[in-house]
Amino acid sequence: AVELLTFGEALVSLRSAGPLAAGGALTMHLAGAESNVAIGLARLGHRAAWAGRVSDDELGGYVLRQLRAEGVGVDHVTRDPERSAGLMFLERRTADLTRVRYHRAGSAGSALDVEDLRPALAAGTRVLHLTGITPALSDSARAATRWAAETASRAGALVCLDVNHRAKLWSRDDARAVLTPLAGYASVVVASADELDLVGEPGAAEETVVAGLLARGVTTVLVKLAGEGARAYTGDGVRRTAALPVTAVDTVGAGDAFTAGYLSGHLDGLDLAGRLRRAVTLGAFAVAGHGDWEALPRRDELSLLDDLQPG
């Protein structure tokens, strides 16, 4: 068994240094919220695995190579000989504004189905991480996500649902109709403040959505507030935590880093304050360096930010 299993679509991300319409060099990176979380855990020395479908060509080979290089388990990854890799262009439009353009419809990753996940779930995990991106990819990926959440929660794993709404993939109403029932399998729900009503009634206040989730068996709701830190709700009430004061150069992947830090703290048996401290520490590393996951810390680097007080 592994400590953390996650699954979804890993993308090949092509990053520009300026407007895409102006052309110029693109650099190739691994992207994907779930693989970012797996890498975050693996960097800290946890046994983390990623499952999904990748194309049976050089791009799929690149995804696997990157994950293996980061120490993420890929034993249960399947190769799809028919479909191509999902691509994402990440355009740096201005110093503070990046834009995303997907080429992922019909990709290998989006064809994920229950059979792809069965061996990984059978091998066992302490934590199952899933995002609201995967069920937006296709009917089969949606069924696979639900099946995995149900199977892992029945097996006693901690299920963490990271809402991660991607407006380019589906509408808020479509997302809510799928994610609200999915949250019923989760122990931990992570959402940014503007995503929270995707696991509750449309337009509902934060406290109302949280109360509904806690009543349905969720033990912890983490509301991410970007540079403002986060609020964590449990049966004991709410605890606020501020972000660490670092210079942000690239916020993509910060939410995934936050979730990875929280789950690492859970696996290490830390109390809520300790889990949140690790979550904001990983978030700080992610925003202070370039790339989705490249700047995430190894365990011996966690202490580099020890002297920073939440600002």
Site residues (CB under 6 A) for ligand KDG? 11, 31-33, 36, 88, 133, 166, 252-253, 255-256, 292
- Judged by CB, which is closer to ligand KDG: 169, or 272? 169
CB atoms within 10 A of CB 256: 31
Work out the angle at residue 99's Cα, subtended by the Cα atoms of residues 93 and 103, and round it to the nearest 5 degrees: 130
Question: Considering the complex, what minimum distance in angstroms separates the CB of residue 26 from ligand KDG?
Answer: 16
CB atoms within 10 A of CB 171: 11
- Judged by CB, which is closer to ligand KDG: 79, or 99? 99
Question: Considering the complex, what minimum distance in angstroms separates the CB of residue 34 from ligand KDG?
Answer: 7
CB atoms within 10 A of CB 82: 9
Question: Considering the complex, what minimum distance in angstroms separates the CB of residue 177 from ligand KDG?
Answer: 19
C-alpha–C-alpha distance, residues 221 and 238, integer Å: 9
- Judged by CB, which is closer to ligand KDG: 27, or 303? 27
H or E element in which residue 100 lies: strand 97-103
Question: Considering the complex, what minimum distance in angstroms separates the CB of residue 88 from ligand KDG?
Answer: 6
- Judged by CB, which is closer to ligand KDG: 101, or 154? 101
CB atoms within 10 A of CB 247: 7
Query: Does residue 305 sit in helix, strand or coil?
Result: helix
Query: Does residue 71 sit in helix, strand or coil?
Result: coil
Question: Considering the complex, what minimum distance in angstroms separates the CB of residue 114 from ligand KDG?
Answer: 21
- Judged by CB, which is closer to ligand KDG: 166, or 216? 166
Residue 250 in contact with residue 95, Cβ under 8 Å?
Answer: no
- In this structure, what token pair is assigned to residue 43? 């960097």
C-alpha–C-alpha distance, residues 232 and 227, integer Å: 15
- Judged by CB, which is closer to ligand KDG: 40, or 255? 255
Place of tokens 């680097």: 301
Place of tokens 């789950």: 263
| Catalytic-labelled residue, pool 116, 256, 271, 306 | 256
Q: Catalytic: 256?
A: yes
C-alpha–C-alpha distance, residues 163 and 166, integer Å: 9
Question: Considering the complex, what minimum distance in angstroms separates the CB of residue 286 from ligand KDG?
Answer: 10
**At how many degrees (to 10) do helices 254-267 and 272-288 cross?**
150
C-alpha–C-alpha distance, residues 88 and 134, integer Å: 15
Active site residues: 256
